Amino acid sequence: MAKTRNEALAAWMAEHRMAKGELADAVNTAIASFAGRRGTTSERTVFRWLSGENRWPQDRQRRGLEIVTGLPVTALGFVPRGKSTPVPALPEDPDVRRRQFFGAAAGTAAAAAIPLAPVASARPSRVGTSDVIRLRDEVEHLVALDAERGGHGLEQAALDGAAEALRLQKQSATQRVRQRLFALASDFTATAAWSLIDAGQLDGAGRHLDRALTLAGLAQDSEMAMQVWNLRAMLARQRRNYREAVASAQAAQATAVARRSPLHASLAHARTAVGLAHNGEDRAALACLARAEDALAKADLAQPRATWIAFYSPAELYCLTAIVQDVVGQPAQAEAASHRALAALPETYRRNRAYTTARLALTQLHQDDVEQACATSGQVFEIMAGTPLPGRMRLLLGDFQRDLIARAPSAHIAHEWMDRYRTLWSSS
């Protein structure tokens, strides 16, 4: 039978940025958790799995793979001997075993008390790829919480994750694992900065970003460096330092990952466009926006990507387009872009949906459609019901209130809006 490359396993490894030797090390460590001694999986073994030369690993290796990945081996492209197609998943959920091995996931309790997942008591003292995977799971968990209800309140959990990554890198046996732990520390620290930015607490965010950029340099990771510059651009815009916002976004454009990845380039161009628009450089802003659209059209959105940039998609570009067009004085086009963004945003991105709805209300207000704008802005509170409004969203609603007072045909309309939503605003 002709060998067929195992594309499913290759895709999982690419998504998790895992080399063949690292996967072998993680599988061997997982085997030790149930067999009492490490396995003998080698880089050559993984090569044979990827090439299709070995389509059904040994029993211990199969169990180790399931623990490491949280997936049944059939979902990883392996086929039992005598079969031509994968068989159904194993009755026991491998993800349960993975959580038992790498540590329980952090709970979805109140934001102020989100713990870093405890290290499993049976975790081997040898630091390696399994620790990298466990900490990456923590980053993904924080990102999921952020998408659901905003980043506010995640700062301490993120800083705890950074501290754990830095503690482990001091014990790591290999340079590659150390660099990946530095990258994770940068990711966690940038997440802490984002928590403050989203909460509107800007004073400490810059300090976290300085630290995150240093850690990205130690990791030699341009992906993490771009994440920091992207957040710096957002922080500078909130501080109304628009020249710094543009410079930070241009620094993001200059990173190696943005030069080779159309997806990253698109985000960097879009962020530059927002800064330029606020700085009064309308023509340059619209030109940057066009470059962002061209770059995104070239991106393969099905390819695995880093967790921090998972949010960026055509929907997010529509959101940023709406901001640029509204700021440069094209509110009708901005309203259309906001509607397209809302149609494309995943339901799980509740905070982004609420923020985009507030932006939509502003575009309607800037067209003097006051009644519709007031109704649209009220939807923000419905979307975020049961969850505190992030500080960044409160500031945006403050902009809406200010513009409403300036544009409403009578003071009564503005006062009615404020009376209707004052309780929700203050209690959120």
pTM of the entire predicted model? 0.76
Same domain as 141, residue 201: yes
> Of 22-31, 76-85, 230-239, where does the model show the most confidence?
230-239
Give the relative orientation of helices 155-169 and 129-149 as an angle to the nearest 10 degrees.
Answer: 170
For 326, residues 6+ apart whose C-beta sits below 8 A from its C-beta are: 334, 359, 362, 363, 366
Q: What is the pLDDT of residue 173?
A: 65
Percent helix, strand and coil across the chain, each to the nearest 5? 70, 0, 30
pLDDT score for 104:
35
Residues 89 and 132 in one domain: no
Domain boundary among 93, 112, 138: 93
What is the structure's pLDDT at 294?
97
User: Which is nearest to 387 in space by CA: 139, 238, 199?
Assistant: 199
Residue bearing the bigger pLDDT, 171 or 173? 171
Given 220, 246, 281, which residue is the final one in a domain? Answer: 220
Together in a domain, 142 and 199 = yes
Look at 35 and 101; give whichever has higher pLDDT. Answer: 35
Tell me the per-residue pLDDT of 232-283, one tens digit each, with 9 for 90 and over: 999 999 999 999 999 999 999 999 999 999 999 999 999 999 999 999 999 9
Contacts from 353-356 at CB under 8 Å and sequence distance 24+?
Answer: 353/383, 354/380, 354/383, 354/384, 354/389, 354/393, 355/319, 355/392, 355/393, 355/396, 356/319, 356/322
| 81 domain-assigned | yes
Single-letter residue type at 285: A
2 within a domain of the structure (yes/no) = no
The answer to whether residue 43 scores a pLDDT higher than 70 is yes
Look at the chain and report how many structural domains it folds into: 2
Residue 334 in contact with residue 326, Cβ under 8 Å? yes
pLDDT at 99 over 50: no
In a domain, 120, yes or no: no
Gap between the terminal Cα atoms of the chain: 63
> Are both 216 and 134 inside the same structural domain?
yes
- Residue 160 lies inside a defined structural domain of this protein: yes
Predicted pLDDT of residue 298: 96
Residue 98 belongs to some domain of the structure:
no
Helices first, then strands: H and E counts in the chain: 20, 0
Both 66 and 150 in one domain: the answer is no
The DSSP line for 59-125 is HHHHHHHHHHHSS-GGGGT---TT-SSPPPPPSS-HHHHHHHHH-PPPP---GGG-PPPPPPTT--S
Asked whether residue 116 carries a pLDDT value surpassing 50, the answer given is no
More confident residue, 112 or 290: 290
Question: Please, which pLDDT band fits residue 90 given cuts at 50, 70 and 90?
Answer: very low
The pLDDT mean for the chain works out to 85
Query: 346 vs 271, which has greater pLDDT?
Result: 271
In a domain, 201, yes or no: yes
Residue 247 CB neighbour total at 10 angstroms: 17
Give the span between the Cα atoms of 188 and 380, in whole angstroms. Answer: 29
pLDDT in tens, 304-321: 888 899 889 999 999 999
Residue with tokens 């049944």: 72
| 81 and 151 fall within a common domain | no
Per-residue pLDDT band at 1 (split at 50, 70, 90): low
Q: How confident is the model at residue 22 (pLDDT cuts 50, 70, 90)?
A: confident
Q: Do 80 and 145 have their domain in common?
A: no
Please indicate, yes or no, whether residues 71 and 155 belong to a single structural domain of this protein: no
- Of the pLDDT bands very low, low, confident and very high (cuts 50, 70, 90), residue 421 is confident
Res 125: pLDDT: 55
- What is 114-162 written as a DSSP string? -PPPPPPTT--SS-SHHHHHHHHHHHHHHHHHHHHH-STT-HHHHHHHH
Q: Residue 102: which pLDDT band, with cuts at 50, 70 and 90?
A: very low
The span from the CA of 177 to the CA of 140, in Å, is: 19
Does the pLDDT value for residue 185 go beyond 80?
Answer: yes
Residue 110, phi then psi, degrees to nearest 5: -55, 145
Q: How many CB atoms lie within 10 A of CB 59?
A: 8
Instruction: Tell me the per-residue pLDDT of 129-144, one tens digit each, with 9 for 90 and over.
Output: 778 888 988 988 888 8
Residue 308 corresponds to which tokens in the numbers above?
Answer: 């921090």
**Degrees to nearest 5, angle at CA 339 with 333 and 341:** 100
Of the three residues 220, 253, 272, the one that is the final residue of a domain is 220
* Residue-wise pLDDT tens digits, 191-206: 999 999 988 888 889 9
Task: Give me the pLDDT at residue 11, please.
Answer: 85
Q: Which domain holds residue 32?
A: 7-93
CA–CA distance, 109 with 215 (Å, rounded to integer): 29
In a domain, 282, yes or no: no
Q: What is the band of 412 on the pLDDT scale with cuts at 50, 70, 90?
A: confident
Regarding whether 143 and 80 lie in a shared domain, the answer is no
Q: How many CA atoms lie within 13 A of 298 on its CB side?
A: 16
Percentage of the chain modeled with pLDDT above 90: 49
Whether 352 is covered by a domain: the verdict is no
Separation between Cα atoms, residue 164 and residue 135, nearest integer Å: 8
Q: What is the pLDDT of residue 416?
A: 86
